[in-house]
Structure 1
Amino acid sequence: MGPLEPDPAELVIGLLCFFLIFGLLGRIILPRLERTLADRRYAIEGGVERAEADQAEALRTLAAYRRELADAHHEAARIRQAAAEEGAALLAAAREEGHRERAELVAAARARLSVDRELARVSLRAAIGPLSTDLAGRIVGEPLDAFAARHGSVERFLEGR
């Protein structure tokens, strides 16, 4: 028996083992392998599709975020502009109020000065007459009160006549 003339018992056992292994592979192992490969293919293809869908959703969310951010920037700029305008208006109003108060204070001070000047003039005029006649009396050596009162010379002199 050689390689060209096999032993029939060995040939039958070998063929039997071959078909048994072939059947085992075809009925149990290969379907499981194909099912596992299909599940993996589905997971990969579904994962790619889900990743593409997630990426598209992320892009939409990013675009919405950018729009909201741009709107927020515009709103902030508008608020800053409104605040600047309101501040300028308040500053102008405060400046105008300050000018008005200053004008009132200056007018009141001028009026007080005018009244004080008149009071001082009247007071000095009343006090200068007796002082001048007393001083003139000391220089002359005689009291001149009666003379000044009779002739009104001090009042005439102060009035400029």
Structure 2
Amino acid sequence: MNLALGPLKPEPGELIVGLSCFLLMVWVLGSRVLPRIERLQADRRDAIEGGAERAEALHAEAERTYRAYRASLADARHEAARIRQDAAEQGAAALAAAREEGVRERDRLVAEAHARIAVDRALAAVVLRRAVGELAVELAGRVVGEPLAAAAAERDTVKRFFEER
């Protein structure tokens, strides 16, 4: 075989060995290396694009969770406001009941005090009338110059005087 390759004149044995090595390399690359490269590229593409899709899904889930949280927080605020309102109403009712009880107790105490004062006033009037009568009889006895206590007691002069008044 005479090939006109110019200054390159390969030997046919070397050409066959070189060609067979080249074909072996192409076969190894095609069967082993290229599938691995394609698999790595697919994994990377899945990691990048799938990561974005997963991130979007997680974002959507987080948004739903946030909305649910906001709704439950609003419900809790409404419930707290209702509880505060109920407590204020119960407090006002308890205050009104305590005020009524206090007014009743005050009225009862005032009535008892008025009754005690009336009794004390009557007793004081009796005691004072007796004392005024005794002092008047004693004074009259001094003016007259003789004791008039027995005569006044016998005639009930002081008693008649106060009964006329």
TM-score (norm 1): 0.85
Gaps of 5+ in 1: none
2:133 maps to 1:135: no
Structure 1 stretch 7-16 or stretch 143-152: which is displaced more? 7-16
Q: What's the counterpart of residue 93 of structure 1?
A: 97
User: Could you give the per-residue CA deviations for residues 103-152 of structure 1, whole angstroms, max 9, x where no partner exists?
Assistant: 11101100110011111112222333233212322333210123323443
Structure 2 CA distance for aligned equivalents of residues 129 and 90 of structure 1: 57
TM-score (norm 2): 0.83
Q: What's the counterpart of residue 9 of structure 2?
A: 6
Q: What's the counterpart of residue 114 of structure 2?
A: 110
Q: What's the counterpart of residue 75 of structure 1?
A: 79
Q: How many residues align?
A: 161
2:57 maps to 1:53: yes
Q: Offset of 1:5 from its aligned partner?
A: 3.2
Structure 2 CA distance for aligned equivalents of residues 83 and 32 of structure 1: 72
Structure 2 CA distance for aligned equivalents of residues 51 and 35 of structure 1: 23
Structure 2 CA distance for aligned equivalents of residues 157 and 4 of structure 1: 175
Structure 2 CA distance for aligned equivalents of residues 156 and 114 of structure 1: 23
CA RMSD of aligned residues (A): 2.3
Structure 1 pair 124–31 and aligned structure 2 pair: CA distance change class (3 A): same
Structure number with the bigger relative contact order (C-alpha 8 A, sep ≥ 6) is: 1
SS in 1 for 2:147: coil
